[in-house]
Amino acid sequence: MKSSCLQIERYAQAIAKSSASSPTMRNLLYWAAKPLADVGSWALFDLDIEYHAALPAGPKIIASNHPSTTDPFLMAKLAAEPLSLVIEERLFKVPVLGRYLENAGHIRVIDGNGRLAYEEARQTLLDGGVVGIYPEGSISPLEGGLHPPRSGTARLALETGAPIIPVGIHLDRERLKLIETKIEDEIAVGTWYLSGPYAMTVGRPLVFKGSVENRDWVQNAAEQIMERIAGLIEASEERVLNKRLRLFSPNPSRSGLLPF
């Protein structure tokens, strides 16, 4: 475990050093750091990424469940271009992780002022950028399942016209590590995933039309997004299970298992 934590820390520190205030320079540094990110993620995790369709060009919203604090490091692998993640403010105060999030140009959700983060995400999309968001608004329940969706993801899609790319993540929950970190004068607990299977299924784009003033429609759209994410989580879980069955059943015909 100590070795995995050290690897995560070195990986994040290396990316965090690639910082700049200029969006153009940030993009250049993104491409310089991407090979390091790829090596680090494949070394630590048994990654399994499946796309149901190619990602559309231009602005888009990548929306996924949020089973661990590690997720922001890995969501960045899904798009060919830099993306800005919408993340709660306290994570920006976590040593190493916070520095990475700040320098990578992610969007801070300040407690009590979510509108500011929403406007920054909206402008990013209008400028042709990619936004990553966790519709649950917090880490998914440790026991499994999903929190009810918040409305921000649907509202962003309706207001900007950007398609939503739903993503379902599955990992081995037994490998999650609750690690305490002192943030300023408080102790925060991170739900870290340091190694093991990590499967992501990227669904087909969802496009919503309508008025953000229609609250019933916004809520309906938010629920549709979460339903699609839930189905993609099942697809990710199935692939991980099938991989385990292949690993422990070298002769499927004798064991009665179907070859996958």
Which pLDDT score is estimated for 9? 47
Which pLDDT score is estimated for 26? 56
Residue 260 lies in a domain: no
Residue 25 lies in a domain: yes
Q: Domain of 80: which CATH number? A: 3.40.1130
Which pLDDT score is estimated for 190? 86
Residue 53 lies in a domain: yes
Q: What is the pLDDT along the chain (260 residues), one digit of tens a residue?
A: 545 444 444 444 444 444 444 565 556 555 555 666 676 677 889 999 999 999 999 999 999 999 999 998 899 889 888 889 998 888 787 766 677 677 777 899 988 888 999 999 999 999 999 999 999 999 999 999 999 999 999 999 999 999 999 999 999 999 999 998 877 778 888 899 999 999 999 999 999 999 999 999 999 999 999 999 999 999 999 999 999 888 876 665 544 444 44
Which pLDDT score is estimated for 6? 47
Which pLDDT score is estimated for 103? 74
Residue 196 lies in a domain: yes
Segment 174-218, tens digit of pLDDT: 999 999 887 777 888 889 999 999 999 999 999 999 999 999 999
Residue 257 lies in a domain: no
What is the domain extent for residue 232?
2-250
What are the b/e assignments for 16-27, b being 16+ CB within 10 Å?
bebeeeeeeebe
Residue 91 lies in a domain: yes
Residue 14 lies in a domain: yes
Q: How many CB atoms lie within 10 A of CB 69?
A: 23
Question: What is the token pair recorded at 120?
Answer: 């920054």
DSSP the chain: -HHHHHHHHHHHHHHHTS--SSHHHHHHHHHHHHHHHHHHHHHHEEEEEEESSPPPSS-EEEEE----TTHHHHHTTSSSS-EEEEEEGGGGGSTTHHHHHHHTTPEEEBTTBHHHHHHHHHHHHHTT-EEEE-TTSSPPPTTSS-PPPPSHHHHHHHHH-PPEEEEEEEE-GGGEEEEEEEETTEEEEEEEE-SEEEEEEE---B---S-TT-HHHHHHHHHHHHHHHHHHHHHHHHHHHHHHHHHH-S-HHHHTPPP-
Which pLDDT score is estimated for 71? 93
Which pLDDT score is estimated for 225? 98
- What is the domain count for the chain? 1
Residue 258 lies in a domain: no
Which pLDDT score is estimated for 8? 46
Which pLDDT score is estimated for 73? 82
Residue 48 near residue 198, CB atoms below 8 Å:
yes
